Structure 1
């Protein structure tokens, strides 16, 4: 067993829009969709690591202030490809691809909002 996180889930109200967004974004970094349920979808490189779904309590999904999920890429080219795919699939930019030396010298990242407004990051080291 490696790592500490089994999976992460974000709430969305429009599962179809979220599916298109994450199929593009995560497909660009080699993490295909692995699960499709009526109320949830999941992606990952070797298991269902990242999930989106409609809230189980039936209330509208909401975005967490200060919350984001970061997806690891192998190279800056993957960061740029994932960012472009996310924009093309209905996401909005929240920080163009580029170096982030304030984090670490080799950190390269981009930030987007998915169609539900959740903040996501794609980065390479």
Structure 2
């Protein structure tokens, strides 16, 4: 459904260092930096057919976070959820909500971890076990 997700940043170099480390846990290559036609800088990570980007706000206003918004990243295992969380915190992120681990949901047991990136964007690492059958 989505072609990409992009968030703003107040410090592109800090954001690139954070997301290179965190998205590297998922197998993404380091972000590719480019300059938009407006002169603003951005970086993109591509993995598994998805694209994620960070950019300097084109309108010149400060970067802000979406109140109530969450960006979810699919993980291959509960261990990868934990590693995503731990790497995020080690690179300037903040652990939020409950500690990483299993949660009951209408979809069964999910393994989740929530962090905020250095700009305050809420990220979720999620592993959904495959159903037998």
Q: How high is the TM-score relative to the length of structure 1?
A: 0.90
Please list every run of 5 or more consecutive structure 2 residues that lacks an aligned counterpart in the other structure: 36-40, 129-133
Distance in 2 separating the partners of 1:10 and 1:42: 11
Distance in 2 separating the partners of 1:77 and 1:86: 14
Deviation at 1:46, TM superposition (A): 4.2
Deviating more after overlay: 26-35 vs 90-99: 26-35
Determine if contact 1:69/1:121 at 8 Å carries over to the other structure. yes
Question: Against the structure 1 CA distance between its residues 48 and 99, is the aligned structure 2 distance closer, same or farther, given a 3 Å change threshold?
Answer: closer
Determine if contact 2:8/2:54 at 8 Å carries over to the other structure. yes
Q: How high is the TM-score relative to the length of structure 2?
A: 0.85
Deviation at 1:47, TM superposition (A): 5.1
Deviation at 1:52, TM superposition (A): 0.6
Q: Secondary structure at the match of 2:3?
A: coil
* Partner residue in 2 for 1:41: 43
More strand by share: 2
Deviation at 1:104, TM superposition (A): 2.7
* Partner residue in 1 for 2:53: 51
Q: Secondary structure at the match of 1:116?
A: coil
- Give every structure 1 segment of 4 or more consecutive aligned residues whose post-TM-superposition deviation is greater than 2 Å: none
* Partner residue in 1 for 2:14: 17
Distance in 1 separating the partners of 2:111 and 2:126: 5
Please list every run of 5 or more consecutive structure 1 residues that lacks an aligned counterpart in the other structure: none
1:100 paired to 2:103: yes
* Partner residue in 2 for 1:31: 28
Q: 2:88 aligns with which of 57, 81, 86?
A: 86
